[in-house]
Structure 1
Amino acid sequence: MPWKLVTEFTFDSAHVIVGYDGPCGRLHGHTYRVKMELQSEKLRPSAHVKRGIMVADFKTLKWAKKDVEKGGLDHAYLNDLLGDDTTAEVIVQHLYRKTLERIRENLPEGDDGSDLKLKVTLWETPESYCEYWE
């Protein structure tokens, strides 16, 4: 892959892992750190520039950093968005799927994005993280 776009950001959210026998079964919060890595074989236009000069717009990759009332995950109660299962594994998969959905919304007509490869890493604490890709 000739291009690899990488960005990192944080967001703060609360959650409960329903049925967890221990502290994580009580309401608590995290400052989640996210790393998005998007590889592409070609450059494309974005929602903000119509020429094919980007892998994707950084804004598209950083959507989750927005306040929950603006469509992101910052200051969200994750159980309201994801249900009872709010482990790092479930959250990182959600980030992956929503990010790919947003990227595909901006692809030019006839471009299926089959060359795009996304990998998302989510740190729940400074020492513990989960990665997701397909």
Structure 2
Amino acid sequence: MSKIRITKQFSFETGHALYGYDGKCKNVHGHSYRLYVTVIGTPISDASNVKYGMVIDFGDLKKIVKEDIVDVFDHATVFNKNTPHVDLAKELQARDHNVLLVDYQPTSEMMVIDFAEKIKQRLPDNIKLHSLRLSETASSFAEWFASDNE
């Protein structure tokens, strides 16, 4: 049977700051992110299976991405925990803000790598992550492809 790719789009609002950056993004700011998750697999051929004809139920894919990415990053502020931004993070946390401390510079490029690892760990064995596209603005995005990372 043919391999088929399916894609689901997600959206979330996240703030961040890029420590040491030489432009405006060194300041705390936010984006309306759009994440496009594409998986590849063979549609289920067992007619007695309730998921017959599907590569993966869009609802199952939604559950994975929502739990590991959207619910975690939405309306959070992300800082690199290995920078002095950790002091700002502690101040915001003390004021009951949702802050994520990550071990990377929170650029779209690094976030999409993080997201790929999280999603790959949750997919069923017969489904592979094909690609991710993370748009931080209408005209700027980072992409991750499995074929580039084998």
| TM-score under structure 1 length normalisation | 0.74
Within the candidate set 117, 120, 127, 2:132 is matched to 120
Shift of 1:59: 2.0
Alignment partner, residue 78 of structure 2:
78
Q: Over aligned residue pairs, what C-alpha RMSD do you find?
A: 2.3
1:38 matches 2:58: no
| Alpha-carbon separation, structure 1, partners of 2:101 and 2:55 | 29
Query: What residue identity is the alignment partner of 1:95?
Result: F
Whole-angstrom distance in 2 between the partners of 1:6 and 1:35: 6
Q: Distance in 2 between matches of 1:58 and 1:42?
A: 14
Unaligned runs of 5+ in 2: 80-99
Q: Give the Cα separation in 2 of the matches to 1:117 and 1:74.
A: 22
Separation of aligned partners in 1, 2:4 and 2:101? 33
Gaps of 5+ in 1: 45-49, 67-71
Identity %: 28
Q: AA paired with 1:65? A: V
Query: What amino acid is aligned across from residue 101 of structure 1 in structure 2?
Result: Q
Greater gyration radius: 2
* Matched length: 116
Alpha carbons 2:8, 2:62 under 8 Å: kept: no
Residues 31-84 of structure 1, C-alpha deviation per residue, up to 9 Å, x if partnerless?
Answer: 10110111102439xxxxx85544332323532222xxxxx2111122224235
Cα offset, 1:5, TM superposition: 1.6
Q: What is the alpha-carbon distance in structure 2 between the residues aligned to residue 5 and residue 129 of structure 1?
A: 19
Summarize deviations over 1:75-128 as a string: whole Å, max 9, x none.
11222242350111001111111111121xxx3xxxx44x62420000011000
1:45-56 equivalent positions in 2, closer than 5 A: 53=52, 54-56=54-56
For 1:11, the aligned partner's letter is F
- Once residues 84 and 19 of structure 1 are traced to their aligned partners in structure 2, the CA distance between those partners, rounded to angstroms, is 13
Distance 1:5 1:60, change over 3 A: farther
Which moved further from structure 2: 75-84 or 89-98?
A: 75-84
TM norm structure 2: 0.67
Pick aligned residue for 1:97 from 101, 117, 121: 117
